[in-house]
Amino acid sequence: MADQAGIVGALELRLRSEYDAPGLMNTEQVVVKKGPQAYKTATLLTFGDKETGEIRKRELRVQTWRAKSGSGGFEFDKTENAWHCVDEEIDRVTTLLLGEARSSGNFSLIAADSPLIGMALLLEQGHVDEHEITKLTGVIASRPEIVEALAETNLVALLELQRHEQGLARLREVVEDPTSTEPDIQRVLQDEWWVFGGRFIAPANRRGITLLDQFDIPLIRLDGSLHVAEIKRANVPHLIESHRSHLIVGVEVHRATNQTINYLRSLDEQRSMISTELGIDCRRSFATVVVGHPMFVEEFTAEEVSETIRTYNSHLGRIEVITYKDLVDGAEHALAWSAELDKGTNAD
């Protein structure tokens, strides 16, 4: 143990003297190998402005130190072998190590701020025809002038709009099918979560989240907080009912709302654990219950259904109840608005 501590201390001293450079923000190191003849390390250096947090350069250094003859330890005062790369070169090495370039051929990296990144994501998620987009992307990546033209024509936005239209058609089909179950609808909404509106950035990662496994669709709001979408059947004939001289929501709406109230209470009780372990802010989370569709309600009109649920919502605090008609209509309006906006942008 003492010998090991001495080796580590000597190495750290060597690294401090070698990497003590202006603008060095952070140093991360891993011991690749500690053998009888050689000591190998990989060190990632980050340079930039410590006050603003702006990163200006990253540098990866891989080094080998030879063991001292007969006296133990290693010759940290001189490097036996060394190699380094910076910035985009590190990304290429990472691509190789992660196995993302297994097939032969020439590969091009796409910058995070490139208009190509959206198209690449659509292809990766399987939302566009693979063969055609693969050919197109290969050509575009090799032609900077095409990349610039692509940014001006906003092709990625048009592809995304088309994908959303297809997804909305799938949702409408499953919702209007009287035999659809909650899992049927939920499977579609897992992919088409965007229909809940632009105030959400992504679904929460469900893997490894024991508590959130009971939620149908946990969404992350723009402020980083959690929003729960509880999915119920669309075919609910008694969505609303008469009570004395008024209309009230039916028992299935009450049950869904109370179920969601219990979920929110559980989130409040475990907010510290969830925040620490998952990095999700669930203090005073909100929820949306999606249940029923006026087309399956024979006794009352769509306007009566809408007004009754709106009255019900006015007395709720952290939960909103909507029908699948509300959800689909809202998504359709959003797509129509996006299409008009794109037309105006392209016209300009």
Q: Determine the average pLDDT of the residues in 179-195.
A: 90
In the predicted model, is pLDDT for residue 54 greater than 50?
A: yes
Q: Determine the average pLDDT of the residues in 19-23.
A: 68
Query: Which one of 69-78, 208-217, 300-309 scores highest in mean pLDDT?
Result: 300-309
Tally Cβ neighbours within 10 Å of residue 299.
12
Query: Predicted confidence band at 208 (pLDDT cuts at 50, 70, 90)?
Result: very low
Q: Is residue 265 helix, strand or coil? A: helix
Query: Predicted confidence band at 327 (pLDDT cuts at 50, 70, 90)?
Result: very high
What CA–CA distance (Å, rounded) separates 59 from 44? 6
Which residues are CB-contacts of 25 (< 8 A; sequence separation ≥ 6)? 46, 47, 48, 49, 50, 55
Phi, psi of 39 (to 5 degrees): -125, 120
User: Which two tokens mark 284?
Assistant: 């005073």
Could you please state the CATH topology (level 3) that the domain comprising 159-334 is classified under: Restriction Endonuclease (3.40.91)
At 40-53, the pLDDT tens digits run 888 888 888 877 77
| Domains of the chain by residue range | 2-96, 108-153, 159-334
Residue identified by tokens 């992504």 is 202
3-state percent helix, strand, coil for the chain, nearest multiple of 5: 45, 25, 30
Q: Determine the average pLDDT of the residues in 1-19.
A: 56
In the predicted model, is pLDDT for residue 296 greater than 90?
A: yes
Q: Determine the average pLDDT of the residues in 118-123.
A: 61
In the predicted model, is pLDDT for residue 181 greater than 70?
A: yes
User: Which two tokens mark 301?
Assistant: 């009109």
User: Which two tokens mark 90?
Assistant: 């590190």
In the predicted model, is pLDDT for residue 211 greater than 60?
A: no
Which residues are CB-contacts of 178 (< 8 A; sequence separation ≥ 6)? 235, 296
Assign domain 2-96 to its CATH architecture.
Roll (3.10)
Q: Determine the average pLDDT of the residues in 223-236.
A: 89
User: Which two tokens mark 227?
Assistant: 């929003």
For β-strands 38-48 and 240-243, DSSP reports them as unpaired
User: Which two tokens mark 99?
Assistant: 């196995």
Phi, psi of 159 (to 5 degrees): -65, -40
Which residues are CB-contacts of 26 (< 8 A; sequence separation ≥ 6)? 45, 46
Residue type, 346: N
Q: What percent of the chain has pLDDT over 90?
A: 27
Residue 289 has a pLDDT of 96
Residue 155 has a pLDDT of 61
In the predicted model, is pLDDT for residue 141 greater than 60?
A: yes
In the predicted model, is pLDDT for residue 177 greater than 70?
A: yes
The more confident residue out of 89 and 343 is 89
pTM of the predicted model, to two decimals? Answer: 0.56
Half-sphere exposure in the Cβ direction for 268 (13 Å, CA): 11
At 257-281, the pLDDT tens digits run 999 998 888 888 888 877 777 777 7
